[in-house]
Amino acid sequence: MDVFLQQLVNGLSLGSIYALLALGYTMVYGIIKLINFAHGDIYMIGAFWGYYIINTYHVDFFVALVSAMVVTAILGMVIEFLAYRPLRKAPRITALITAIGVSYFLENGMSLLFGANTRDFPQIITHKTLTFMGIEISNIQVLILCTSIFLMIVLQIIVKKTKMGIAMRAVAIDPDAAELMGINSNHVISFTFGLGSALAGAAGVLIGLYYNSIDPMMGMVPGIKAFVAAVVGGIGSIPGAAIGGFVIGTLETLIQAVGLSAYKDAAVYIVLILILIVLPTGLLGKSAKEKV
């Protein structure tokens, strides 16, 4: 039982990182129906930015986190502007292939500029372990979980209460009608990329602290897993992405706990296949209904 609870705690902290990433996937998909395969690499850039700014300016965790979010938000908007906006009217597959191209560009560009080797992420927070009812929780795990949940709450407020957030949902529902309201869909799409990328940047800094090592290819697998999380939760659904992230993270650590470490990635993909067969719209996804 203790082992199970212990793995659950580990799973939740890993899952919260997947959840942050999955939110970006789902928001972008919701608004322009694009699976942004470069999303995992934005998370990598977030981690590298954290590495750079901590080593160079010796800033604390908070500054590293917020600055990484700002940098990745700008990067996300620039990518959207340069790579995806010109393809707005093109077939969906064109944008999808472009997203894969952007992903390779970021991965190999970073390898070329900074080398492909793995680096140690600076440990700005002294590692402490708390024991609670027989379960060991590190202060970093608590920090990851709290930061992620805090960011998800902020996101929820932005999407539900602000003018831009409501416009995001309006454009996702009916872009043509939104245009007739005078909503400039390009601004809204740009805002969505910024928001999603900022969360990915935050996840990058958090994973640096957690796993202690970063490299230019680090975004690939978590990117795909977060995509699976978004599909499990119901692509396009924001609460679904959060839940999907926690589900995938927990599943992965539990599989490791029962001694099947070698199959942890496979398990995630099996879940994807099962969900697509049994519940193609995901846990919270909506099937389109129309009222006449």
Sites of contact with other proteins (CB under 8 A): 163, 166-167, 169-170, 173-174, 176-184, 286, 289-292
Q: Which is nearer to other proteins, 22 or 188 (CB)?
A: 188
Q: Which residues, 6 or more positions from 221, have their beta carbon under 8 angstroms from its beta carbon? A: 40, 265
Beta bridge partners of 130: 137
**Minimum CB distance to other proteins smaller for 30 or for 50:** 30
| Minimum CB distance to other proteins smaller for 165 or for 201 | 165
- 33 vs 58, which CB is nearer to other proteins? 33
Closest CB 166 distance from other proteins, rounded Å: 5
Query: For the chain, what is the largest distance between any 2 Cα atoms, rounded to a whole number of angstroms?
Result: 61
| Cβ at position 129, least distance to other proteins in Å | 45
Task: In angstroms, give the least distance from the CB of 26 to other proteins.
Answer: 15
Report, in Å, the least distance between residue 287 CB and other proteins. Answer: 13
Query: How many C-beta neighbours within 10 Å does residue 158 have?
Result: 15
Comparing CB distances to other proteins, the nearer of 162 and 213 is 162
Long-range Cβ contacts of 75-84 (<8 Å, 24+ apart): 75/42, 75/45, 75/197, 76/24, 76/42, 76/193, 76/194, 76/196, 76/197, 76/198, 76/200, 77/190, 77/193, 77/194, 77/197, 79/38, 79/42, 79/193, 80/189, 80/190, 80/193, 81/190, 84/32, 84/34
Q: How many residues does the chain have?
A: 292
Smallest gap, in angstroms, from Cβ of residue 195 to other proteins? 18
